[in-house]
Structure formats: structure tokens, C-alpha cells
Amino acid sequence: MSSQTTAPPPLPAPAAVSPAASAPAATRRDDPAVPSTARPLRVAGAAAQLAALGVVGPFVFIGFFAALASGVGLVFAAGVGIIVLIALAYVLFAVAWLENARVDGLYGFDLPPLSARRPTQPGFAGVLGMFWRQAIDPSVWRAIANLAISTILGVLVLVLVTVAATGITIAFAPLYADTVSMYGLEVPVTWAPLIGPIVALISAAAIIGLALLHGVLSRLIMVPSRETQLAAEAREAGAQRAGAIRASEVERTRIERDLHDGVQPRLVSVGMTLGLARQKIDEDPAAAKALIEEAHTSTKAAITELRQLARGIHASVLDDRGLDAALSALAARSHVPVHLDVRIDGRCGRTAEAAAYFAIAESLTNAAKHSRATGVRVVVRSRDDGSLWARVEDDGLGGARILPGGGLDGIANRIAAAGGTFRLDSPNGGPTALEVSVPCAS
């Protein structure tokens, strides 16, 4: 862990962003290792939670419907309704997150935690897309559906608790009454000590049945089936494969461009200069010597370019000394002053470190070439969830866009190939902030 400053520009502190974390897949509902929902403590906990939801749940859903009605009714009133609906989408997410945590804590299904949607493209269109994807997030609605069912079961549990309490009260009726009435039915006092306990036992059994039903329904609703999980894994693997292929294509194009536009013309110039020197070496040795010196200088420059090109393909310092040292060397070579703050524990996987390194390197290159930045801030952290997170922020002009075949496109595909997430925020006028997060084990 280290913190190094090559030239600290006065930049704002980076915003705290929790990247999309890489979570373990949920336990399959047909897996024999699925925790039993019929264990006594879990049944008792489910019954208690259902009773609480029977009290709180109706008010939660009344609030949901009231916000939805007011949002729809005010949608044309200076956009107030749209703000209400957006707020409702995030309130639903918060409630779904709590429901997901409740079910997972009760039954130990190992459910993946819910995460809020983020913009996939810059600008206003990206923000609207983010809100829409948040509003239709299937995982959120599964949790809300489970909460609705749990609330109904909770109301029934409260009714049964009342019935059980009535049965217990009736069991002692001969001690304080001559006649007993239970829900409009006359019960002989002599039979009350028998009927009361039977009613209480039946109510208790029904409560246990509702608690067991809650566990079964929660598993069906909240835990992805094996087919769903395999389909999600296949989609993720396909996206990583596509990202890897695209990243390799972009990298190959960059290498070809650098060779064609940089090293190749310089080597051609060296050859022509040496040819001229050979022609003049007999009749004008001084001029020939000058041409040889020029060719020697050009050769050294070509060697430098080749080294930089090779470093762009693979930074050997990553393997030798790790990401911290590699980024320190990168910041020292940057044409723009870089404030580097790296706090990582140990080493990550080679793929993860390489993805983060090249994302930061490309960001520094873009800041130097296109954004007219006077300073860049680079923050790298190792997260508790086992991911490697990095943020690069410059004070340039902004307006960066992901174009096919461009540097940002290469970053996005390389990060996708490593199984990570990529986010770009670059409004016109700046600043530009790029965030990446990759699983440390990748």
C-alpha cells in the first residue's frame, strides 16, 4: 500500500462510488445443499417476521400506491409527477434490498445483493435509460412480490394469533364466566377447557404452516432456478468473450497504426539517410558524417518508440513489482501532472491488474492528447468484496465519448473481458471521470 504524488494539482476529491460488486451466484433451488427452511429456529423466525410484516406491510403498500397515484396524476404538472415516480423507483429498490437481505438472513439462500442501476452511456439519454432500467429491474420486482405475499401471510398470522389467544382465554372460562361466546358461537362452559386448547393448537399449527409456506414461496420467488442461473452465466461468459475479442481487435489495430504511422516511417527515413551518407562518404566525408549522426539519432528514437509500443502491449513491471509500482512509473512518464493514490492489499490476478493498468494508462493518454487537462487524479482501491476499483479524474474540457475502435472502446472491452464494470462521466466542460471495477481473482 502506498501513496505517491508526482505533482499534486488542486482537484476535487473523488466521489465515493460503490462499483458494481461481483457477488457469488445464488444457491440453486434444486441443489441438495440448499439450507432447509423447516428448521425449528427458522420456522419460529419466519413466524415472528410474518407477524411484524402483517403490521408494517399494509402501510408500506398503501404508501406505494399513494405515491404511484400522485406521480401519475402530477406527471403533467411541471414535471413534478416524473420526480415522484423516479423517487418511487428508488424507494422500491430500497425496500427490495431490505426484503432481499431479510430472506437471505433468515434462510441463508446466499442471494446476490441488489445493486442500483448505473448509466451505460453519457449524457441525458444515459440518465433516462438508467431510471428506466431501475424501474423495470426484475430482481427488484421479485423482491417486492415476495414482500406482498409475505404481508398477506403476515396478516393471516396476526388473525391466527388472535384466534389462538381467544382459545387460551376460553380454556379458563369456567373460572370467570357462566357462558362463553367465541366469534358469535355459544360454547358450553363445561366444554370450554377442551375446545379452547384445541382451537389454540389448531391456530398454532396453522401459523407454523404459514411459516413453512413462506419459506417455500421465498425460495421459489427469490432463488434463481438452475436454468436461469445457467442462462445468466452463459450471457456473462458470452459478454466476456465478445469483450475479449473486441479488445484484441482494438489492440491489434492500435499496434498496426503505431507501427505504420510511427516506427515504420522513421526506419524508412533512417534507411534513406544512410543511403545518402554512403553516396557522400567519398566526396564529402563531413556531410556523410552529419547524415550518419542524423540516422543514429533517428534510430535511437525508433528504438524508444518500439519500447513504448512494447510497454503498451505488456508492462513487464506489472509481473515484477505489481500494480502500485507500474502505476508509479506510468505517472512519472505522464505529460500531465498526476496525483496518484494507490491503496491495495497484496496482489490481484494478472488479468485484473493488467485491465486496471491499461485503463488508467489509456485515460492518462486521452487526458494528455484530447482534454487539455492540467492535472489528473488517480485513485486505486482494493474493495472488501474482492474487487479492484480505480477512478481517473481530470480537469479537462470533457465531452469524451466511446467511439468504435477508439481508446475508450478498448478500455470498455478489456474491462468486460475481465468480468468487470466500466463507467464514464464526461459532460461538456468537464471534468472527465472514468471508473472501472474488476474481480481481483480474474
Q: Does residue 235 belong to any structural domain of this protein?
A: no
Segment among 104-108, 299-303, 362-366, 378-382 with least mean pLDDT: 299-303
pLDDT band at 239 (very low <50, low <70, confident <90, very high): low
**Whether the Cβ atoms of residue 51 and residue 165 lie closer than 8 Å to each other:** no
- Give CA separation, 12 vs 16, 69, 85, 200, 432, in Å: 12, 41, 32, 65, 12
Cα 167 to the center of its chain, rounded Å: 52
**Residue predicted with more confidence, 157 or 232:** 157
**Whether the Cβ atoms of residue 432 and residue 375 lie closer than 8 Å to each other:** no
Q: Does residue 409 belong to any structural domain of this protein?
A: yes
Burial class (CB in 10 A: 0-12, 13-18, 19+), 377: buried
Q: Give the whole-angstrom CA distance, residue 355 versus residue 357.
A: 6
Same domain, 184 and 244: no
Residue 343 is predicted with a pLDDT of 86
Domain boundary among 223, 252, 279: 223
Same domain, 207 and 81: yes
Model pTM greater than 0.75?
Answer: no
Segment among 306-320, 327-341, 377-391, 400-414 with least mean pLDDT: 306-320
* 3 state DSSP class of 256: helix
Domain boundary among 196, 223, 250: 223
Residue 32 is predicted with a pLDDT of 43
Same domain, 414 and 318: yes
Residue 281 pLDDT > 50, yes or no? Answer: yes
Residue 307 is predicted with a pLDDT of 67
What CATH number is associated with residue 327?
3.30.565.10
Residue 150 is predicted with a pLDDT of 95
pLDDT band at 265 (very low <50, low <70, confident <90, very high): confident
Q: Does residue 371 belong to any structural domain of this protein?
A: yes
Residue 78 is predicted with a pLDDT of 65
Domain region containing 413: 2-16+240-439
Residue 10 is predicted with a pLDDT of 43
Q: Does residue 6 belong to any structural domain of this protein?
A: yes
Same domain, 78 and 206: yes
Same domain, 312 and 433: yes
Q: Give the whole-angstrom CA distance, residue 359 versus residue 112.
A: 27
**219: which strand partners?**
none
**Residue predicted with more confidence, 206 or 257:** 206
Residue 439 pLDDT > 80, yes or no? Answer: yes
**Residue predicted with more confidence, 420 or 201:** 201
Q: Dump pLDDT digits (tens) for 69-88.
A: 888 888 777 678 888 888 88
Same domain, 205 and 93: yes
Q: Dump pLDDT digits (tens) for 92-113.
A: 999 999 999 999 999 888 888 8
**432: which strand partners?**
394
CA 93-382-389 angle, to 5 degrees, is 60
Residue 211 is predicted with a pLDDT of 93
Segment among 59-73, 137-151, 323-337 with least mean pLDDT: 323-337
Same domain, 282 and 217: no
Mean pLDDT of 169-177: 74
CA 271-277-282 angle, to 5 degrees, is 150
Residue 248 pLDDT > 80, yes or no? Answer: no
Same domain, 276 and 416: yes
Residue 301 is predicted with a pLDDT of 75
Q: Does residue 380 belong to any structural domain of this protein?
A: yes
pLDDT band at 425 (very low <50, low <70, confident <90, very high): confident
Segment among 18-27, 195-204, 283-292, 367-376 with least mean pLDDT: 18-27
Residue 383 pLDDT > 70, yes or no? Answer: yes
DSSP string, 28-59: PTT-TTSPPS-SHHHHHHHHHHHHHHHHHHHH
Q: Which three cell numbers stand for residue 339?
A: 496525483
Q: Dump pLDDT digits (tens) for 310-367.
A: 655 566 667 677 788 888 888 888 888 888 888 888 778 788 888 888 888 888 888 8
Residue 5 is predicted with a pLDDT of 43
Q: Does residue 11 belong to any structural domain of this protein?
A: yes
Residue 12 pLDDT > 50, yes or no? Answer: no
The label of the residue with cell 409456506 reads 213
Residue 14 pLDDT > 50, yes or no? Answer: no
pLDDT band at 30 (very low <50, low <70, confident <90, very high): very low
**Whether the Cβ atoms of residue 353 and residue 314 lie closer than 8 Å to each other:** no
Q: Does residue 230 belong to any structural domain of this protein?
A: no
Q: Give the whole-angstrom CA distance, residue 156 versus residue 53.
A: 11
Mean pLDDT of 179-208: 79
Q: Does residue 176 belong to any structural domain of this protein?
A: yes
**Residue predicted with more confidence, 381 or 257:** 381
Q: How many domains does the structure of the chain reveal?
A: 2
Same domain, 53 and 195: yes
Domain boundary among 223, 257, 280: 223
Residue 437 pLDDT > 50, yes or no? Answer: yes
**Residue predicted with more confidence, 7 or 149:** 149
Same domain, 253 and 208: no
The chain-wide mean pLDDT, for the chain, equals: 78
The label of the residue with cell 491503496 reads 343
**Whether the Cβ atoms of residue 118 and residue 20 lie closer than 8 Å to each other:** yes
Same domain, 357 and 246: yes
Q: What 8-state DSSP symbol labels residue 345?
A: -
Same domain, 313 and 206: no
Residue 29 pLDDT > 70, yes or no? Answer: no
